[in-house]
Amino acid sequence: MGYRYSLAFLTVAELTPPEAVRVAAEAGYDLVGLRLLPAGTDGPYPLLTDPAMLKETRAALRDTGLQVADIEIIRITPEFRAADTLPFLERGAELGARNILTAGYDPDPARMTDSYGAFCDLAHQHGMTADLEFMPWTDIPDVSAAVRQVRAVAHPAAGVLVDALHVQRSATEFEELAALDPAWINYAQLCDAPGQFDASPEALIETARGNRLMPGDGDFDFNAMLSALPKDIVLSVEVAQKHRIGKTPALRRAVEAMQKTKQVIARAEV
């Protein structure tokens, strides 16, 4: 079937969900990603609790024919209780979402496994996967840590989310990506960044959440990453560029992101 393309939330973070759906459709994406819960101090996100916003978003999806690829973000902390995520999961199911961006913020591996496994159970019951994203400032800092958790829970809803930025900036080798069970890979996130970077947690977070480059504008080896991953997954184009919000329209940025993504894929030997 080949790749399908999703417009990630962070690429057009200033838009409401219905606006994001319509921009994604106009820019030529197949799917869209939406945020329901904050990643840090951002938010709130009314789509989680506002019936009118849900109605408008579903209408936009129906009108455009787009589907929701992933919803964000579940943070598994020491205080995490899977039952508390039910409103999030119910709203995701109402939107027809397929995947859930899941992040590990618990330093206790055994407790993390218990929490992640319990969440996988609930996600599966609601027709979604729980895709564990490794990020170097979290307690799942690289792909090997994500693999340990996915193996430990041994659940059909468990998966590994591969983000090009975090591959570049963590202790992750392309050979490790190639060794992943293809059944674990539901989608991957694409962006670019300079090869030289500040490795402090603060700088890594600032880049991830607001200062990424368009695919092909940095130093990332897309050929190596795409060669290592399945060829029929969803590619979520996640290019957070806070400095362009209010200066370059969201639609123009979404179109540019799609065009540059297809250019790097065309150049990759996959």
With CA atoms as reference, report the closest residue to 236 among 196, 203, 188: 188
Q: How many alpha carbons lie under 13 Å from residue 252 in its C-beta half-sphere?
A: 7
Helix H or strand E segment including 17 = helix 17-27
Relative to beta strand 187-190, strand 234-237 is parallel
pLDDT for position 41 = 87
Q: Can you spell out the DSSP letters for 75-129?
A: EE-TT--GGGGHHHHHHHHHHT--EEEEEE--S-HHHHHHHHHHHHHHHHHTT-E
Q: How many alpha carbons fall within 13 Å on the CB side of residue 133? A: 22
Distances (CA, A) of 151 to 25, 123, 181: 36, 17, 10
Give the CATH number, domain containing residue 20: 3.20.20.150
Give me the helix-helix angle, 51-64 and 17-27, nearest 10°.
10
Rounded to whole angstroms, how far apart are CA atoms 18 and 128? 21
Q: Give me the pLDDT at residue 131, please.
A: 98
Question: How many domains, the chain?
Answer: 1
Domain span at residue 59 reads 4-267
Q: Show pLDDT as tens, one digit a residue, over the chain (270 residues).
A: 699 999 999 999 999 999 999 999 999 999 999 999 999 888 899 999 999 999 999 999 999 999 999 999 999 999 999 999 999 999 999 999 999 999 999 999 999 999 999 999 999 999 999 999 999 999 999 999 999 999 999 999 999 999 999 999 999 999 999 999 999 999 999 999 999 999 999 999 999 999 999 999 999 999 999 999 999 999 999 999 999 999 999 999 999 999 999 999 998 865
- Res 270: pLDDT: 58
Q: DSSP for 31-50, please give it.
A: EEEEE-S-SSS----GGGT-
Rounded Cα distance, 119 and 158, in Å = 9
Reported as type and span, the H/E element at residue 248 is: none
- CA distances 90 to 56, 71, 93, 227, Å, are 17, 12, 5, 36
Structure tokens belonging to residue 76: 């598994």
Query: What is the distance between the alpha carbons of residues 113 and 76, in angstroms, rounded to a whole number?
Result: 10
